[in-house]
């Protein structure tokens, strides 16, 4: 991902994958919104990065897993970054904290100077 167009492409890709495992409309919307927030974060903070979207299975349930990685500056204070309303830039501070609330699983891996990788998963009901 290098530009705003790619964020739109990620949204569309996540949407079509979510439809393929028949996530409910509300769950689809939550997942795509979370992906949109994280894809934008990747671009804004990492400069550029990559997104990987895949269908996953566990215990008879299907899910969509999306991983956003960048090689940007990383996050120094993770707790602070996950606080709703706290923002490093001009945003609303809902990117990370909001995305976390919208999905079933949320894992973040970050190292200052190395980059950040965020993985989210949403399971079908």
Partner 1 sequence: MAENDGQQLLELLLADEQALLDQWLRAASAHLQGRTAAAELERAFRDLLSALSKAVTSGGLDLDHEAYGEVRALLSELSRDRARRGFTPSETAVSVFCLKDALFELATRTGRSAEVLIVSSRWVDALGLLTFDSYVRAREEVIAEQSEQLMELSTPVVKLWEGVVAVPLIGTLDSARTQIVMEKLLQTLVDTGSEHAIIDITGVPAVDTEVAQHLLKTVVAARLMGAQCTISGIRPQIAQTIVALGIEFGDIPTKANLADALLHALRGSGVEVVRRRGEGRR
Partner 2 sequence: MTQQVPVLRLGDALLVSIQVDLQDDDVLALQEELAERIVSTGARGVIIDISAVDIVDSFIGRMFSSIAALSRVLDAETVVVGMRPAVAITLVELGLSLEGVRTALDLEKGRAILDRLIAERRPAHDLDYLDDDADYVPLDDPAGERARPDPSRR
CA distances to 12, 16, 27, 86 from 91, rounded to whole Å, are: 23, 28, 24, 9
Residue 33 makes contact with partner 2 by CB under 8 A: yes
CA distances to 70, 72, 94 from 119, rounded to whole Å, are: 12, 16, 17
Q: Between 12 and 19, whose beta carbon lies closer to partner 1?
A: 19
Phi, psi angles (nearest 5°) of residue 67: -120, 125
Distance of closest approach, residue 59 Cβ to partner 2, in angstroms? 25
| Range 50-109, binding partner 2 (CB under 8 A) | 84, 91-92, 94-95, 97-98, 101-102
Binding site for partner 2 (CB under 8 A): 3-5, 7-8, 11-12, 15, 25-26, 28-30, 32-33, 36-37, 40, 84, 91-92, 94-95, 97-98, 101-102
């Amino acid at each position: 991902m290098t530009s705003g167009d790619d964020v739109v492409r990620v949204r569309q890709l996540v949407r079509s994958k979510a439809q393929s495992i028949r996530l409910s409309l509300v769950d689809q919307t939550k997942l795509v919104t979370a992906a949109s927030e994280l894809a934008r974060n990747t671009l804004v903070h990492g400069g550029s990065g990559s997104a990987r979207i895949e269908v996953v299975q566990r215990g008879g349930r299907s899910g969509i897993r999306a991983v956003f990685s960048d090689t940007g500056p990383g996050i120094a204070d993770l707790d602070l970054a996950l606080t709703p309303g706290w923002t490093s830039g001009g945003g609303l501070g809902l990117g990370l904290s909001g995305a976390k609330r919208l999905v079933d699983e949320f894992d973040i891996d970050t190292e200052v100077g190395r980059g950040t990788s965020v993985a989210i998963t949403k399971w079908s009901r």
